[in-house]
Structures are given as structure tokens and as C-alpha cells.
A and B are shown apart, each in its own frame.
Chain A
């Protein structure tokens, strides 16, 4: 008893090490997310200039308070108005959302049954299956996408196989189409869908399935009334893990897609590297981030609501 109270009293004297451990994730977020974000936000409020760095105003600390006042008055929302006023950006955003939504749907349709089959496989075989799903990570992402160019090009493996099988007469154009983008995205993101889904199926209590069967529920229906409702969180996490990065995806649409309708990641790249308009690029990035907060917030909301219902 006395020991405990003395421990409580010394609460203010928690060791520095313990505090550092608690603070570590926050410091990490502060250093690697919040600070860069604030920098990008600031750049997005600046205006483009032919200078080094290529934007204005730059905070001049040597000028003291006056410098700060000049700096603040130099900021404006002009870039955001430009983005909002130009159809190009709007289409780009919509295109990104469409691609992300369609590929996430395909990923769900392919990944969920795969994860379910893995979780139902014999126990001894499961580590091997998980390793197989993760195996592509052992090769560079870029190299794997280049490999797809090889497969999808006019005289590539896919067309050769199709012609050999007599399914088509003439080589089909795959590369530089939306189909190629979807193939590339689904291929690249499949592990991010499968692994969380597998994790939630794997810890599933088998006797619930038997109880459902015992009460007269056929196997296929059990999946929809028991398995899915209990595993949805894992599936939603997987979907989010795919949807969010796909919206901002650059490599796959740039290498495999056509040039007519670009995704927001490509637009951003163009602004940044081709036009060297850092402020506009930053505004696009900030707008993208705000856009992506929506699905994350919805997921969070559903999750907390579920927790509340359970209490």
C-alpha cells in the first residue's frame, strides 16, 4: 500500500526515458509529417517567382518584425482560386477518385476471396502463403512496373499468349490505356488488401461458423451473415490502405497509362518539375490531402460508433 502511494506521488518524476518513449510517435509525426506539411502549406500560399527558391515571399528573419509582417502580407490564396477555376485540376481530381474507387473495388473482389482461402488453408501451409503474397516486395516497385510494360506492349507476353491461344487475331493495344493502369494498380496493391483481410479472417473463431451451420445456415450464406460482418474492419482497413495511396499514385499511371486524362499525381508532377510552379503544385498537394481526409474520417467515425455500440 505504502509502496503504491509513493509510486503515485512520484508521478511527476517519471523518468526521462519513459517520457521519451511516450513522446516518440508524436515527435516522429511532428518531424516527418507536420513540419513538412506546414512547409508545403506555406509554399502553396506563396506566389511563383524566378528565383532561388522559386517562390515569394521568403521569410527574412534579419529584418525582424517588419520582415515577418511583409512575409505574412505576401501570402495569399491565389493558387487555390486558380486550381478551383481551372477544369484541368477538377478533372484530374475526379479521374483520380474514379481510378481509386474502381481499382479498390476490383481489389476487394479479388483480394477478399484470396485472403479467405488463405485463412481456411491448412495451418501448416499458411506461413508459406503469406510469404508468397509478400514476395513481390522483394523486388523494386519500379522494376516490377517496368516488367508490366514488357508484358503489355504490342509484341509483349500477353499478346503473344492471346494469339497463341487463338483468342485474338491481331495484337491488342494494352499499353497506354486505362486497362493497363488498372492491371498495374491491382497488381501493385493486392498485398495491401490481402494482408489485413487475411489477418481478420485468420483470427476468426471457427466455432461461430459451425454454430451458424448448426442453426441451419448454408455455407455460402454464413460468409455474408457471419464472416463479413465480423471481418469488415480488416477489409475496410485494406480498402483504405489501397484507396488513399492510389488517389495520389504517380508511377503506375505515368508508366502504363495514356496521356489524355492524367491523375492528380501526374498533374502535380508536371506543375512541380515541368512548370517549376512550386506554389501551384503545393496547393494541389494540400487540396489532395484535404480530399483524402474524408474517407479516413468516415472510417474513424464508423469504428468509434461500433465501439460505442459495444459498450
Chain B
């Protein structure tokens, strides 16, 4: 959530890439199912979703390795159905890097440029430039099997960037890297994207990665885009229970809208508890309340009388994660609620222990009311 997301209202009217209800079936599995999606110029766009939801297939459709069974894929306003992969101004960084083992690092980076019939000197200059860009100066003569995993990843990146594609597709580019290198690479990718002014589409199933690098994220489920928005919007205003549960941690409470009044609604759950939430919903609607753990306050003693939405319970599990601690609190009726507290002060032990009695509260505007 640290990215400076380009707010959706700032987006230009004409998308660079447009999927128009595209379907791709393998046998009777719909890997991509009537999917529509717009990606704009200069965007760093992430495809996020569980394994097998069709992310790779979507990239391969755009690169031209798969043909859609239905729908249209537009690039710069033109249907690219008839354009073979080698003519598309789109380059892909493969998940396994797919470096040519018989060529040197420089040969790999130069491969795409050679296909364009560029002059030797121009190619050499561009290769130098790309190797400098990914900080691999001096390794041009090595072969891929003489490199470390991280270096190989950089060669793959340099190779896919060398032709300055209109769109760069990255299929889980950091899956093989350790956490430190991964974080470093994430920032380098963001910096590169901003500097080169290209459009990046990255596939990942790591949500913190998607949130770190991307301006916008498309959350996918079973071949469809369930929500496409900025990271903050996806996190704070998920459009469905599924998105709320998939992105980040969440407590879900199901209930019925009892009454509404000036943008505030009173929700009643099965156990007869009442909640006040800030939401515009119709009375009588079946809804779910989604509560992020960090928005719930924990009180060691009884909550102040004016605190809204208070609940009493007992700590049943404590997880110390360094910067934050997560508490699982069992309410009197057995429901377990998760709450996160930032560890602001340096304390040797936990302030709250298992079996401590606690009171929870949350403000009406902390909750997300979901009708789907």
C-alpha cells in the first residue's frame, strides 16, 4: 500500500490494452471466462489471484501464445487476433526465465534486437545499456548456467526490456528469489517502470507484492476479474466477501439491516448482537460486515461507555509478529474475532496474555458492508 497509485479518475479515456469478454477454454476448463479488463498506458498493473485462476493464461493470450475462443483483445485500439507473437509489440519475462543456454548473457539480451535487423554497433550499445540498467555490467560474456538465480532473473528482465515493448509482461518474476532480493527487485522494477515510461503487467499470487508495485490490481477468481482497482481501494473497499477474504485478513460477520438513519445502519446478527456501521444500505437487506483486524481496538478493561460496537471476550491465542501482534479473541458466544495491534512500545512480554478478559470496539466507519 506504499505505492503512489494513479487514481482511477486520472486514467486516460483510451486504454492501451483491452480485453473484451475474452474466453479461453482447455477441454472443458474455462481458464479465462468472459473476462473484460482495461489496462492503461504507463500503468504498473498486477494480476492477483489464487493458483489456477487463469493469470498465466491471460498473459499468454496477450503475448499471442494462446488464441481466445471468444472475445477480442485490443492493443492500442487495434484487434490483435491476427498478429502472431513475433509481431506483437509485447515482450514477456517468463516464469522460468527461458534463457537461451547456448548464448551468452549479451547474446540473450541482443537476441530480440538482432531479429529487428539493427546495426551491430546499435545492438552492442543497447546491450551495454540494458546490462547497466539491471546492474550486470561485465557479465556479458558469461553463459546462463554460470550465473546465480538472481542474476539470471536480471538477464531475463534485460532481455525482455531490450526491445522497449509497449507492454512488458512479467509472469511471477520474483518467485525464485529470497525475500530480501525480492523486495529489492520490487523497488527496482517500480523505478524502472517509472523511468522508462512503459506499461508493466505483472502476475503474482503474493498480495503484498502486488500492493507494493502496482498502480492497479485485478483480483481474479476462476477465470474472471472480480475487482480491478487501486491497492488501497481493493483493501479498504472490497466489492465482495471473496475479495475481502482473499486480500488481507478479515473478520466477517453476517447479518440483516434492521434500520437505517442518515448514512448509518444498525445491523443485527444471528446471535442478537447489534452493530452500528456507516453504510448506505436498504433496511431488510442480507449483508456481511467485513472488519480488518487492525481496525479493531482492544481494551484490557471495560470499554469506555461511549465506544461503539463493543464486545466482550477472552484472548485465546496471541501471535507476536515483531511489528504487530495478532490476538484471537473468543467472544462469549464462541465466535472468534481477530484483532491486530501495532507494537508501539518496546516491551519484553506481551501486554495481553491468553485467557485475559478483554473488550473489543470498533468505530462505525471501520466496517465494510458487503452485499455480495
Task: Give the residues from 24 to 56 in chain B that come closer than 8 angstroms, CB to CB, to chain A.
Answer: none
- Given A217-B86, A310-B145, A211:B116 Cβ within 8 A: no
Q: Which of B4-25 contact A (CB under 8 A)?
A: none
Residue contact A217 to B111, C-beta cutoff 8 Å: yes
Given contacts A213-B84, A216-B116, A217-B115, 8 further A-B contacts (CB under 8 A): A210-B65, A211-B92, A213-B65, A214-B92, A214-B160, A215-B91, A215-B159, A215-B160
- Report which of B84, B87, B94, B115 forms a contact with A207, defined as CB distance below 8 A: B94
Shortest CB-to-CB span from B104 to chain A, Å, is 10
Q: Is B181 an interface residue (CB 8 A)?
A: no
Chain A, 233-247, CB within 8 A of any chain B CB: none
CB within 8 Å of B: which residues of A? 205, 207-208, 210-219, 221, 226, 229-230, 309-310
Q: How far is the CB of A139 from chain B (nearest CB, A)?
A: 40
Given contacts A215-B159, A310-B145, contact A207 B96 (CB under 8 A): yes
Interface of A is mostly: helix
Q: Are A207 and B98 in contact (CB under 8 A)?
A: yes
**Do A210 and B143 touch across chains, with their CB atoms under 8 A apart?**
no
Question: Shortest beta-carbon distance, B303 to chain A, in Å?
Answer: 58
Tell me which residues from 65 to 98 in chain B have a Cβ below 8 Å from any Cβ of chain A.
Answer: 65, 84-87, 90-92, 94, 96, 98
Give complex CA distance A249, B87 in Å: 50
Place the interface of chain B in its size category: 20 to 34
Alpha-carbon distance between A179 and B354 when the two chains are bound, in angstroms: 92
Is there contact, CB below 8 Å, between A208 and B116? no
> Out of B65, B99, B112, which one reaches A216, CB within 8 Å?
B112
| A226 and B100 contact, Cβ closer than 8 Å, known pairs A218-B86, A310-B145 | yes
Asked if B163 is an interface residue, CB under 8 A from chain A, the answer is yes
Using Cβ atoms and an 8 Å threshold, which residues of chain A touch B99?
A: 211
Which 6 residue pairs are nearest across A and B when measured between Cβ atoms? A215-B112, A216-B115, A211-B98, A207-B98, A213-B85, A213-B86
Establish whether residues B86 and A214, one from each chain, have CB atoms under 8 Å apart when the complex forms: yes
In the assembled complex, the Cα of A208 lies from the Cα of B99 at a distance in Å of 7
Q: Are B94 and A211 in contact (CB under 8 A)?
A: yes
Residues of B near A213 (CB, < 8 A) are: 64-65, 84-86
> Taking the nearest CB of chain B, how far is it from the CB of A205, in angstroms?
7
Contact between chains at B86 and A216 (CB < 8 Å): yes
Chain A CB within 8 A of B101 CB = yes
Contacts A210-B85, A229-B102 given; indicate if A215 touches B163 (C-beta within 8 A).
Answer: yes
Residues of B within 8 A of A211 (CB): 92, 94, 98-100
In the complex with contacts A215-B112, A216-B163, A208-B86 CB distance below 8 A: no
Q: For B169, give the chain A residue with the smallest CB separation.
A: A214
B63 at the interface (CB under 8 A from A): yes
Contact, CB under 8 Å: B111 / A212: yes
CB neighbours (8 Å) of A229 from chain B are 102
Distance between Cα atoms of A208 and B96 in the complex (Å): 10
Nearest-neighbour CB distance to chain A for B63, whole angstroms, equals: 6
> Roughly how many angstroms separate A267 CA and B53 CA in the complex, as a whole number?
70
In the complex, which residues of chain A have a beta carbon less than 8 angstroms from the beta carbon of B90? 214
Closest residue to A229 on the B side, CB-wise? B102
Contacts of A214 in B (CB 8 A): 63, 65, 85-86, 90-92, 160
A305 to chain B, nearest CB (A): 13
Q: Given A208, A217, A219, A309, which contacts B98 in the complex, CB threshold below 8 Å?
A: A208
Q: Check if A210 sits within 8 Å of B86, measured CB to CB.
A: no
A207: nearest chain-B partner, CB-CB:
B98
A222 to chain B, nearest CB (A): 9
Chain A residues, Cβ within 8 Å of B94: 207, 210-211
- In the docked arrangement, what's the CA distance between A212 and B108, Å? 10
CA A258 – CA B308 in complex, angstroms?
107
Least distance between B100 CB and chain A CB atoms (Å): 6
B27 to chain A, nearest CB (A): 14
Considering only CB atoms, which chain A residue lies closest to B156 in the complex?
Answer: A211
Q: Which of B127-156 contact A (CB under 8 A)?
A: 143, 145-146
Q: Which residue in chain A gives the minimum CB-CB distance to B116?
A: A216
Tell me the smallest distance from the CB of A187 to a CB of chain B, in Å. 33
When distances are taken between beta carbons in the complex, the residues of chain A under 8 Å from B145 are 310
